[in-house]
């Protein structure tokens, strides 16, 4: 099992919840994101301890290949680690934005687009999420609404409670609203087209850059009745919430020890603790704490782990 040193990101919209949530000895303010596992060039996390301390996810893949990520993933991604895991704390609204799909991203010289999902932690002050269009827009109407500050009126808005799930496919307009605290699971990509930013300015007093034209080419203008991911969370069971070509994610809510059997899965697994406290033990019986704010990477060679305690956590992998 690998645990990584988090990469803390101070942002214009960031809050003060991530450091205490993760029990970190830090004095930073306005921490908007904790990158838990990242292979983004220039923003790699590193293994926190043990004989491979200091290695990035990509270096682990290069060293262990199929034994770390699984044969299919190694064939598909090579030495690139395919997921980026974050905690996000929004004291202010994030910008309205969209991510391109793989094809559109490659036209811009990037390796991947970005499909992602959010799992909501307890919010403050009535947290909400923008997710998708309320009604159909043409590219021209979209540009007009950006220009006249009415783009938010065209978006579906959802008040959230703890445990809500939103899958955000590439091309869907979205934003995390003020008060939200979320776990984000996404493709290894840091490509974002900022559509609208509520008139905010950067530290130098300049308007933050918008990507209106690039976004217009990437937006999926189709409309759905409901963009929320609905699921029922059964106690002490695996509850799958998202299954797509980019990741599969399940939610667990346990109050007794539960063994997670990965003997038939040839892939790495990431476990992300959302609430509570407990322990996790590997096949040799070696146990370590596993509590809210922790993120662990299990190699593809892992056959089973046992998680105990009173705990909510996410499981995600790529197949």
Q: Is the pLDDT of residue 100 over 90?
A: yes
- Residue 270: pLDDT band by 50, 70, 90 thresholds? very high
Query: Could you tell me if 170 and 206 lie in one domain?
Result: yes
Residue 231 within any structural domain of the chain: no
| CATH number assigned to the domain comprising residue 266 | 2.60.120.10
In a domain, 66, yes or no: yes
pLDDT at 107 over 90: no
Q: What does the pLDDT average to over 60-65?
A: 98
- Residue 110's pLDDT band, with cuts at 50, 70 and 90, is confident
Measure the CA–CA gap between 247 and 241, rounded to whole angstroms: 11
In a domain, 234, yes or no: no
Give percent of the chain above pLDDT 70. 100
Provide the pLDDT for residue 140: 95
Number of separate domains in the chain:
2
Question: In the structure, what pLDDT confidence band is assigned to residue 108 with cuts at 50, 70 and 90?
Answer: confident
pLDDT tens per residue across span 207-256: 889 998 999 999 999 999 999 999 999 999 999 999 999 999 999 999 99
Regarding whether 191 and 249 lie in a shared domain, the answer is: no
124-151 pLDDT tens trace: 887 999 999 999 999 999 999 999 999 9
- pTM score, two decimals? 0.96
CA distances, 98 to each of 137, 154, 217, 290 (Å): 15, 14, 10, 34
pLDDT of residue 106: 86
Residue 204, pLDDT above cutoff 90: no
Q: Is residue 308 part of a domain?
A: yes
Is 260 among the domain residues? Answer: yes
Identify the domain containing residue 253 by its residue range: 239-317
198 and 136 in a single domain? The answer is: yes
Residue 232: partners with Cβ closer than 8 Å, 6 or more residues away: 239
Scan for tokens 């004989």, then name that residue. 51
Same domain, 203 and 245: no
Mean pLDDT of 50-78: 98
Residues 146 and 15 in one domain: yes
Model confidence at 285, in pLDDT bands (50, 70, 90)? confident
Length of the chain: 319
Predicted local confidence at residue 112, as pLDDT: 87
Whether 198 is in a domain gets the answer yes
In a domain, 230, yes or no: no
**Pair 285, 140 in one domain:** no
> Would you state the pLDDT for residue 254?
98
């Amino acid at each position: 099992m690998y645990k990584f040193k988090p990469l803390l990101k101070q942002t214009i919209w960031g809050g003060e919840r991530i450091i205490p949530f993760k029990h970190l000895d830090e004095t930073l303010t306005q921490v908007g994101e904790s990158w838990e596992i990242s292979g983004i060039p220039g923003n790699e996390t590193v293994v926190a301890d043990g004989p491979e301390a200091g290695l990035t996810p990509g270096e682990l893949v290069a060293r262990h290949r199929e034994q770390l990520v699984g044969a299919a993933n190694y064939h598909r991604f090579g030495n690139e680690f395919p997921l980026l895991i974050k905690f996000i704390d929004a004291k202010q609204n994030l910008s309205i934005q969209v991510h391109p799909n793989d094809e559109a991203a490659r036209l811009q010289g990037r390796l991947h687009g970005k499909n992602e999902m959010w799992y909501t932690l307890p919010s403050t002050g009535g947290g909400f999420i923008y997710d998708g269009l309320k009604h159909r827009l043409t590219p021209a109407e979209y540009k007009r609404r950006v220009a006249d500050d009415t783009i938010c009126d065209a978006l579906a808005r959802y008040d959230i409670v703890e445990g809500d799930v939103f899958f955000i496919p590439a091309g869907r307009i979205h934003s995390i609203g003020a008060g939200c605290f979320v776990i984000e699971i996404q493709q290894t990509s840091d490509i974002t087209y900022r559509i609208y930013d509520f008139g905010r300015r950067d530290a130098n007093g300049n308007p933050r850059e918008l990507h209106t034209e690039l976004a217009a080419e990437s937006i999926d203008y189709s409309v759905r009745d409901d963009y929320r991911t609905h699921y029922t969370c059964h106690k002490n069971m695996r509850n799958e919430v998202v299954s797509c070509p980019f990741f599969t994610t399940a939610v667990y809510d346990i109050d007794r020890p539960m063994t997670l059997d990965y003997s038939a899965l040839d892939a790495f697994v990431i476990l992300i603790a959302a609430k509570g406290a407990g322990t996790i033990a590997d096949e040799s019986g070696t146990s370590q704490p596993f509590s809210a704010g922790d993120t662990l990477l299990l190699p593809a060679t892992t056959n089973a782990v046992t998680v105990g305690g009173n705990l909510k956590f996410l499981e995600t992998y790529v197949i």
